[in-house]
């Protein structure tokens, strides 16, 4: 299907399900509830639009409850494809009959989502006896072509927007579509999802907060993934969890803690945190933990974005709106030359009304509206690489609202960010950075100096001679300072060694004065020189 044909299909779906009322038009004459009509339309439009519905379903503060409840069915209740096709895909990928691969295989899918569906199975041991219960995830047949069609349509709409929309410069729709394409392409490779699951499992193995299943690589291919079957209660079954006495405040706070630690401690976060992917281990109701599935979408940030985000969050938590404004300018998120004072005042206007209030008392719809107004005024540049993090944070907030509407998001997150900043600036972290950076710098400096000298030698007349003299003086100063630095490091090492010997080493009291005296003499001698 061409992009033009796809656009016509979208328009026809919009009309067929009477969706004009969602854009302020007259109410539809279709007797079905509006949420059901919207869900059916998104299902008919395919995986990209289903993903949009999944994200909206977690925000009942923005989307009316009747629509959010209906869209929640998109999370893992998309119509399945026939089990015979699933069996054929598995056998083609693994090269053996399904009955030879597994001791048992459930033809009825456990869940069907936008790009894949999941079947229960039991592995077969070497002696033929039943082994570990597993889940078998299979990509929908032809899904790659369908995603490519929607991406082509999105590019067409983005190009139109870049040409005609006054908001295009700020929103950068082409860059956002490119980022979304990258995310969806990764999600269609189940080998990559398996690798994501393995890394998350290593990062959190032994944690009381969350558990990640084992991947069975011998049974995994780009379109088939076999993982340990976890036993938990869906986060959607709130009444059941409540009946078991689960502490929802602990559960909500742990969800926030997991998100911020994944983002800042690990720099590798699960970026598809809708309720269909989250289960609860309620064996200890007072300290419930999470069980995660579906690792097709994950996110990472550059070190600069990590630091800027952490500093922004901490500045928000401390009501330091001046620092928030400065960080936005420094990071290039708003144009250079923007009045820091004006931006500081705008941010204060948005944030003060929501400060230290529980989620249930905050209108995030109003908050986002004001934020967009400020963004438009200051020509805010949308960062495509941060779109995934922003979406995940919205999902975490939406989940927190459903679990415990008194959740203090700021109180939960602030200690995590403060600890992360302390760890980054600790002597151990700085030493580790120096361990890797100094050898690279040492190798690069001679090349830089040589290249610079060649460039200066190309100069003519007095200017060239002056430049060469300046260059020679610069190189001499660098060498002199280098010698001084080496001697200072030696002196400092002797002084520190003396202190450590005195404090820690057996018999250190005899050796420490020698090291201390040598360090002091070296330091004094070099200072006089």
Residue 218 has pLDDT above 90, yes or no: yes
- Give the per-residue pLDDT at 391: 74
Token pair recorded at residue 336: 């250079």
How many other C-beta atoms are found inside a 10 Å radius of the C-beta of residue 70?
Answer: 21
Query: What's the CA gap between 359 and 409, in Å, rounded?
Result: 8
Token pair recorded at residue 407: 């959740």
Average pLDDT over residues 158-181: 73
Residue 72 has pLDDT above 50, yes or no: yes
Residue 524 has pLDDT above 50, yes or no: no
Residue 222 has pLDDT above 80, yes or no: yes
Side-chain-side CA neighbours of residue 315 (13 Å): 18
> Which has the higher per-residue pLDDT, 198 or 438?
198
272 counts as catalytic: yes
- pLDDT tens, position by position, 123-168: 999 888 999 999 999 999 989 888 888 888 888 878 887 787 665 6
Residue 509 has pLDDT above 80, yes or no: no
Average pLDDT over residues 26-36: 85
Mean pLDDT value across the chain: 79
Main-chain dihedrals φ then ψ at residue 292, nearest 5 degrees: -105, 145
- Give the per-residue pLDDT at 366: 59
Please give the C-alpha separations between residue 446 and each of 449, 464, 479, in angstroms, as whole numbers: 5, 21, 11
Residue 243 has pLDDT above 90, yes or no: yes
What is the torsional sign of CA 19, 21, 23, 25? positive
- Give the per-residue pLDDT at 378: 81
Task: Specify which residues 221 forms β-bridges with.
Answer: 224
- Give the per-residue pLDDT at 175: 76
Percent of the chain's residues with pLDDT above 70: 71
- Give the per-residue pLDDT at 433: 58
If you average pLDDT over each of 50-54, 128-132, 395-399, 416-420, which comes out highest? 128-132
Instruction: Tell me if 124 sits within 8 A of 102, measured CB to CB.
Output: yes
Query: What's the CA gap between 196 and 95, in Å, rounded?
Result: 25
Average pLDDT over residues 53-59: 71
Average pLDDT over residues 284-289: 97
- pLDDT tens, position by position, 464-499: 554 555 556 555 655 555 555 554 445 445 445 444
Query: What's the CA gap between 51 and 272, in Å, rounded?
Result: 10
How many other C-beta atoms are found inside a 10 Å radius of the C-beta of residue 317?
Answer: 18
Residue 400 has pLDDT above 90, yes or no: no
pLDDT confidence band for 510 (50 / 70 / 90): very low
- pLDDT tens, position by position, 411-459: 788 888 888 888 876 666 556 656 655 666 666 667 677 676 666 566 5
3-state helix, strand, coil in the chain (%, to 5): 65, 10, 25
Q: Give the chain's length.
A: 529
Token pair recorded at residue 237: 């079954």
pLDDT confidence band for 21 (50 / 70 / 90): confident
The mean-pLDDT minimum among 358-362, 402-406, 407-411 falls in 358-362
- Give the per-residue pLDDT at 408: 77
Indicate the burial class of 58 (C-beta count within 10 angstroms; 0-12, 13-18, 19 or more).
buried
Instruction: Tell me if 412 sits within 8 A of 253, measured CB to CB.
Output: yes
- Give the per-residue pLDDT at 255: 93
Eight-state DSSP code of residue 287: S
Residue 52 has pLDDT above 80, yes or no: no
Catalytic residue chosen out of the listed positions 61, 247, 272, 281: 272
- Give the per-residue pLDDT at 483: 55
Residue 183 has pLDDT above 80, yes or no: no
pLDDT confidence band for 383 (50 / 70 / 90): low
Average pLDDT over residues 380-395: 71
Query: What's the CA gap between 481 and 445, in Å, rounded?
Result: 14
> Which has the higher per-residue pLDDT, 81 or 423?
81
Residue 519 has pLDDT above 70, yes or no: no
Main-chain dihedrals φ then ψ at residue 383, nearest 5 degrees: -95, 105
- Give the per-residue pLDDT at 476: 62
């Amino acid at each position: 299907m061409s992009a033009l044909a796809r656009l016509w299909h979208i328009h026809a779906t919009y009309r067929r399900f009477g969706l004009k009322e969602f854009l302020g038009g007259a109410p539809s004459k279709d007797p079905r509830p509006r949420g059901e009509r919207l869900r059916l339309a998104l299902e008919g439009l395919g995986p990209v639009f289903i993903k949009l519905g999944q994200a909206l379903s977690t925000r009942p503060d923005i989307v009316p409850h009747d629509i959010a409840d209906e869209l929640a069915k998109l999370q893992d209740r998309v119509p399945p494809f026939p089990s015979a096709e699933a069996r054929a895909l598995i056998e083609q990928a693994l090269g053996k009959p399904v009955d030879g691969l597994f001791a048992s295989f459930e033809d009825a899918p456990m869940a069907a989502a936008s790009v894949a569906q999941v079947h229960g199975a039991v592995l077969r041991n070497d002696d033929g006896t039943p082994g570990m219960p597993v889940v078998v995830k299979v990509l929908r047949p032809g899904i790659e072509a369908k995603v490519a069609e929607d991406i082509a349509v999105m590019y067409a709409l983005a190009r139109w927007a870049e040409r005609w929309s006054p908001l295009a410069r700020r929103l950068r729709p082409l860059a956002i579509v490119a980022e979304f394409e990258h995310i969806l392409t990764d999600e269609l490779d189940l080998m990559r999802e398996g690798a994501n699951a393995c890394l998350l499992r290593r990062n959190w193995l032994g944690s009381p907060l969350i558990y990640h299943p084992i991947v069975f690589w011998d049974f995994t291919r780009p379109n088939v993934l076999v993982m340990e079957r976890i036993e938990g209660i869906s986060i959607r079954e709130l009444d059941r969890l409540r009946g078991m006495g689960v502490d929802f405040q602990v559960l909500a706070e742990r969800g926030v803690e997991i998100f911020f630690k994944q983002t800042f401690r690990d720099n590798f976060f699960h970026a598809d945190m809708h309720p269909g992917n989250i289960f609860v281990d309620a064996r200890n109701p007072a300290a419930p933990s999470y069980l995660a599935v579906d690792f097709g979408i994950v996110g990472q940030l550059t070190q600069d974005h990590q630091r800027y985000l952490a500093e922004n969050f901490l500045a928000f938590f401390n009501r330091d709106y001046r620092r928030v404004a400065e960080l936005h300018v420094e990071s290039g998120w708003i144009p250079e030359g923007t009045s820091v004072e004006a931006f500081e005042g705008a941010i204060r206007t948005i944030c003060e009304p929501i400060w230290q209030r529980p989620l249930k008392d905050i209108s995030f719809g109003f908050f986002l509206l004001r934020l967009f107004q400020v963004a438009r005024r200051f020509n805010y540049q949308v960062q495509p690489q941060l779109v995934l993090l922003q979406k995940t944070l919205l999902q975490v907030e939406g989940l927190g609202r459903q679990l415990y509407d008194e959740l203090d998001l700021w109180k939960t997150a602030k200690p995590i960010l403060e600890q992360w900043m302390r760890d980054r600036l600790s002597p151990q972290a700085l030493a580790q950075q120096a361990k890797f950076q100094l050898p690279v710098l040492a190798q690069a400096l001679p090349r830089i100096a040589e290249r610079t000298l060649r460039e200066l030698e190309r100069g003519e007349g007095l200017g060239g001679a002056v430049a060469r003299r300046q260059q020679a003086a610069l190189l001499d100063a660098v060498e002199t300072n280098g010698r001084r630095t080496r001697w200072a490091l030696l002196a400092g090492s002797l002084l520190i060694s003396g202190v450590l010997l005195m404090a820690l080493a057996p018999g250190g009291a005899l050796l420490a004065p020698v090291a201390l005296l040598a360090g002091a003499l070296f330091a004094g001698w070099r200072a006089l020189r």
